[in-house]
Amino acid sequence: MATGTSELPELHPVLGFKLGTTSAGIKSADRPDLVVMEIAEGSSVAALFTKNAFCAAPVTVCKERLARCSPRYLVTNTGNANAGTGEQGLLDATQTCSALATLAGVEIDTILPFSTGVIGELLPIDKLLAGLPDAFDQLSESGWADAAQGILTTDTRAKGSSTQFGTDKPVTITGIAKGSGMIKPNMATMLAYVATDAVVNEELLHRALTLATEKSFNRITVDSDTSTNDSVVLVATGASGVIIDEESFDSFLENLCQVFTDLAQAIIRDAEGSSKFVTVVVDTAINQSEALKVAYTIAESPLVKTALSASDPNWGRILAAIGRSGIEDLDVNEVQILLNSVLIADHGARAPSYSEEAGQAAMQPEDIEIRVCLNRGDASEVVWTSDLTHEYVRINAEYRT
Amino acid sequence: MATGTSELPELHPVLGFKLGTTSAGIKSADRPDLVVMEIAEGSSVAALFTKNAFCAAPVTVCKERLARCSPRYLVTNTGNANAGTGEQGLLDATQTCSALATLAGVEIDTILPFSTGVIGELLPIDKLLAGLPDAFDQLSESGWADAAQGILTTDTRAKGSSTQFGTDKPVTITGIAKGSGMIKPNMATMLAYVATDAVVNEELLHRALTLATEKSFNRITVDSDTSTNDSVVLVATGASGVIIDEESFDSFLENLCQVFTDLAQAIIRDAEGSSKFVTVVVDTAINQSEALKVAYTIAESPLVKTALSASDPNWGRILAAIGRSGIEDLDVNEVQILLNSVLIADHGARAPSYSEEAGQAAMQPEDIEIRVCLNRGDASEVVWTSDLTHEYVRINAEYRT
């Protein structure tokens, strides 16, 4: 199950950024599962990774290399996360990079490895190495849609977003992402790759990446389970010749945020077993941290999520989640709750104007907004999530077996 | 679904503590749903309540009265939580107490009200008042088993525990509890009533209650949803004449802890939709707080819980949960994970001795122990939880509709 459209939007090529995809038989025969991306020389690259202490072997390798030099190739396999694999996992990640370095005629340190899939099993390194030449041969600036397919795991659809802005010399930003379960990114989502042809120096690019990630991938949760492999990479090839400086930064950031938010929301729309796309807004909080605490407690409450799956306006569960979210000196008599603009709770109890019929009607759409007004400050935050369905349990009870 | 035995053990009467149960038609016709308990004059009473900011009207009333005088009667209805009901909720709770005070010929301040059930709907006060006289007439020291039935909501079975200790003059401790969903007690569980005929002054009784609750009801989680109504009451009638003082306190506490732990585990065995009873042990941690953080992150991970429901030794999910639990400077290479004594992960990766067959076999029993050794200190903690099944989703999607 999933919500919204399953169609991939048009993904504009980004000059200086190529993608090649093949089926190496890691996940299953004939399914694309190996993707190589080529970054033109002289590009800027910024990346963020999971804060999970058990980060995967490829994440460890990426972090080390990024500190040393600018990447030229990204190689991603799906079907196996190469996480919880100890010393052998690091060797396998290194061997993958070594093979690609030979193919491409570059230094091994310029290659970043990424993996996603089952945790705790060794990488099927022979299959991966055998598939590399074909992925390399497929490299093309129009390879985005195939690559969007090639990085999926339990996802039911490819996820991409693309925008062009500026009039004289337009700048392109295009990105793809994957993720469907084990989703509560902490610094980044499962895997996302975004490229632009703008000229952006690494300091500005890293600032843009951090700000855009904070408002997109760091605002979604499917199941509160932060993955071992979360990675997001932002590449600026500079091919358009349009220079992003302090002056044009805000406009660039705005467009970048749009692409990031599209990708983050696409992950929630394809959340495992989801039948609802849920926006949790907490406003009039004292500060952002308090607003986020309340928003996440609601978004991750199994009871709220199961009520959502039944289109049940069970606001008592939302109220209980607010109450246990641990914010200080909450005056419950000030709290209001709205479901798709219908005021259901006021002064901490059922609103006099509320009727069960109005609540039922408000819960029917696929897209639901839960809005909580704390009425004690000016801060506001938003988190996106999905509902908890039979299908989520089925997928996660059956996956890996 | 539930795990373990559904039989209620023998519940020894406690002199000076009577229970009366009736069906007031609040939940459904002919189902016991109203319970009155009478506490002999001169008893000591201690109670703990939810820390949820949206605490229910009866919780507010109880807290106020306990500060003023010693309770003589407890009145509990199921089918309606009287939470999120604002001013009217307080009036309804007060009216219930007023009617019982008249029946019993006592001051209204000596009556404590308790409610459990749906949040956000007004108490059906007329039905409740009409049922009170019959519940009052039923008061009896042998009323424990009926009362254990009368306080249930989505529970599938009654929960009780009883013990007697001491040789010359034995002391009795008997208790009942309810709870099945919205269970992550914070200070107390949904509802638990425990009585003893020992003589215990209120200071010692409160200390015993706090210590016993901390190691029992505060160590269980079904769905991380702390309820609005959690309450636990401990009564010492003194009828046995056996005095508990500083010297005999430890022995009393040990027996009390046994009854509390029995009741807390009975709640987990009857957790909504559960098919597994899961003990999460985290040892060799630096301190208790760190051990609890890891234990709760595992116990509340939807991915770990769905894997448990499928008897799948998916230890990668346990490892990912440990990694995201937010403990500082974790050396993942020191971490070991055992499933029912089978070492599955060592040095942060799959144990060389581990086989998938051994893992599968370890996951078959109804009772599962997940043991995590952090190997960095001497602290140890334990948390009990259940698995996440289709049945949990069904119950919570259908409840209230």
Q: What is the pLDDT of residues B260-304, one digit of tens each?
A: 999 999 999 998 889 999 999 999 999 999 999 999 999 999 999
| pLDDT score of A401 | 45
Give every CB contact of residue A376 below 8 A, 6+ residues apart in sequence. Answer: A284, A285, A286, A331, A334
The architecture that CATH gives domain B17-269 is 4-Layer Sandwich (3.60)
What span, in angstroms and rounded, lies between the C-alpha atoms of B305 and B354? 22
Q: Which residue has the tokens 């009217």?
A: B88
Catalytic residue of the set A116, A172, A189, A196: A189
- pLDDT above 70: residue B40: yes
Structure tokens at A128: 């991966």
Give every CB contact of residue A192 below 8 A, 6+ residues apart in sequence. Answer: A175, A176, A177, A178, A217, A231, A232, A233, A260, A263
Residues A97 and A108: beta-carbon distance below 8 Å = yes
Give burial (CB, 10 Å; 0-12/13-18/19+) of B375: middle
Tell me whether A319 touches chain B (CB under 8 Å): yes
| pLDDT score of A116 | 92
- pLDDT above 90: residue B368: yes
In this prediction, what percent of chain B has a pLDDT beyond 70?
98
Chain A residues with beta carbon closer than 8 angstroms to that of B332: 53-54
A332: closest CA of chain B, how far (Å): 6
Chain B residues with beta carbon closer than 8 angstroms to that of A397: 306-307, 309-310, 312
Partnered with residue B77 across adjacent β-strands are B34, B115
| pLDDT score of B401 | 45
What span, in angstroms and rounded, lies between the C-alpha atoms of A129 and A136? 11
Nearest of A232, A225, A237, A122 to residue A176 by alpha carbon: A232
Reduce the DSSP state of residue B58 to 3 states and report it: helix
| pLDDT score of A186 | 67
Distance of CA A380 to the CA centre of its chain: 21
DSSP symbol at B271: -
Give burial (CB, 10 Å; 0-12/13-18/19+) of B213: buried
Q: Is the dihedral of CA B65, B128, B183, A221 positive or negative?
A: negative
Chain A residues with beta carbon closer than 8 angstroms to that of B187: none
List strand residue ranges (DSSP E) for A91-166, in order.
111-118, 159-165
Tell me whether B302 touches chain A (CB under 8 Å): yes
In the chain, the amino acid numbered A375 is N
With CB atoms and an 8 Å threshold, state whether A186 touches B324. Answer: yes
Alpha helix ranges (H) inside B310-362: 315-323, 356-362
Nearest of B266, B273, B232, B200 to residue B74 by alpha carbon: B232
| pLDDT score of A183 | 77
| pLDDT score of B29 | 80
Tell me whether A398 touches chain B (CB under 8 Å): yes
Residues B134 and B25: beta-carbon distance below 8 Å = no
Annotated catalytic residue A189: yes
Spell out the CATH class of A277-398: alpha beta
| pLDDT score of B400 | 60
Give every CB contact of residue B189 below 8 A, 6+ residues apart in sequence. Answer: B177, B179, B183, B217, B220, B230, B232, B263, B264, B267
DSSP symbol at A9: P
Binned at pLDDT 50, 70 and 90, residue B169 comes out as confident
Nearest to B223 among A87, A303, A314 (CB): A303
What's the count of helices (H) and strands (E) in chain B, helices before strands?
Answer: 11, 16
Nearest of A116, A182, A119 to residue B337 by alpha carbon: A119
With CB atoms and an 8 Å threshold, state whether B349 touches A84. Answer: yes
With CB atoms and an 8 Å threshold, state whether A119 touches B389. Answer: no
Tell me whether B167 touches chain A (CB under 8 Å): no
Nearest of A175, A187, A159 to residue A52 by alpha carbon: A187
What span, in angstroms and rounded, lies between the C-alpha atoms of A79 and B216? 41
Exposure letters A67-101 (e unless 16+ CB within 10 A, then b):
eeebbbbbbbbbbbbbbbbbeebbebbbebbebbb
3-state percent breakdown (helix, strand, coil) of chain A, nearest 5 = 35, 25, 40
Structure tokens at A191: 């895997």
Task: Establish whether B18 is an annotated binding residue.
Answer: no
- pLDDT above 60: residue B215: yes
| pLDDT score of B277 | 95
Task: Establish whether B63 is an annotated binding residue.
Answer: no
Binned at pLDDT 50, 70 and 90, residue B50 comes out as confident
pTM: 0.85
What residue numbers of A does the annotated binding site for substrate cover? Answer: 153, 178, 189, 272, 396, 401
B46: closest CA of chain A, how far (Å): 23
With CB atoms and an 8 Å threshold, state whether A319 touches B225. Answer: no
Count CB neighbours of B351 within 10 A.
17
Structure tokens at B164: 């007697």
Question: What would the DSSP string read from start to end of B364-395?
Answer: -SSEEEEEEE--S-SEEEEEEEE---HHHHHH
More confident residue, B181 or B139: B139
Nearest of B8, B140, B22, B139 to residue B78 by alpha carbon: B22
What span, in angstroms and rounded, lies between the C-alpha atoms of A363 and A346? 18
Nearest of A384, A370, A388 to residue A306 by alpha carbon: A388
Chain A residues with beta carbon closer than 8 angstroms to that of B153: none
Task: Kindly give the confidence (pLDDT) of every residue in chain A, 401 residues in length, as a single tens digit, with 9 standing for 90 and above.
Answer: 788 888 899 999 999 999 999 999 997 888 999 999 999 999 999 999 988 888 899 999 999 999 888 899 999 999 999 998 989 999 999 999 999 999 999 999 999 999 998 888 899 999 999 999 999 999 999 999 999 999 998 888 999 999 999 878 889 999 999 988 777 776 556 788 999 999 999 999 999 999 999 888 888 888 888 888 888 899 999 999 999 999 999 999 999 999 999 999 999 999 888 999 999 999 999 999 999 999 999 999 999 999 999 999 988 899 999 998 988 899 988 999 999 999 999 988 899 999 989 999 999 999 999 999 999 999 999 999 999 999 989 888 876 64
Average pLDDT value for chain B: 91
H or E element at residue A368: strand A367-373
Residues B380 and B338: beta-carbon distance below 8 Å = no
Question: What would the DSSP string read from start to end of B184-214?
Answer: --SSS-SEEEEEE-SB--HHHHHHHHHHHHH
| pLDDT score of A221 | 85
Q: What residue segments make up the domains of chain B, in order of their start?
A: 17-269, 277-398
Lowest mean pLDDT among A171-180, A342-351, B97-106, B390-399: B390-399
Rg for chain A, CA atoms, rounded:
22
In which region does residue B320 sit, left (phi positive, over 0), alpha (psi from -120 to 50) or beta (all else)? Answer: alpha
Find the mean pLDDT for residues B69-77: 94
Structure tokens at A285: 């909080």
What span, in angstroms and rounded, lies between the C-alpha atoms of A307 and A298? 12
Reduce the DSSP state of residue B95 to 3 states and report it: helix
What's the count of helices (H) and strands (E) in chain A, helices before strands?
Answer: 11, 16
What span, in angstroms and rounded, lies between the C-alpha atoms of B13 and A364? 51
- pLDDT above 60: residue B182: yes
What span, in angstroms and rounded, lies between the C-alpha atoms of A77 and B91? 63
Partnered with residue B369 across adjacent β-strands are B279
Alpha helix ranges (H) inside A179-248: 202-214
Nearest to A320 among B182, B309, B316 (CB): B182
Q: What is the largest CA-CA distance in chain B?
A: 72
| pLDDT score of A189 | 61
Give every CB contact of residue B14 below 8 A, 6+ residues apart in sequence. Answer: B141, B172, B173, B174, B195, B196, B197, B235, B237, B239
Most A CBs within 10 Å: which of B306, B327, B329, as the mutation test of the A interface? Answer: B306
Residues B245 and B171: beta-carbon distance below 8 Å = no
Structure tokens at B96: 């219930």
Task: Establish whether B189 is an annotated binding residue.
Answer: yes
B133: closest CA of chain A, how far (Å): 30
ipTM topping 0.90: no
What angle, 0 to 180 degrees and rounded to 10, lies between the N-to-C axes of helices B86-104 and B57-68?
Answer: 50
- pLDDT above 80: residue B352: yes
CA distances from A165 to A141, A212, A239, B306, B323 (A): 19, 17, 15, 45, 40
B92: closest CA of chain A, how far (Å): 14
Domains B17-269 and B277-398 share a fold: no
Pairing status of strand B379-386 against strand B220-221: parallel
Tell me whether A69 touches chain B (CB under 8 Å): no
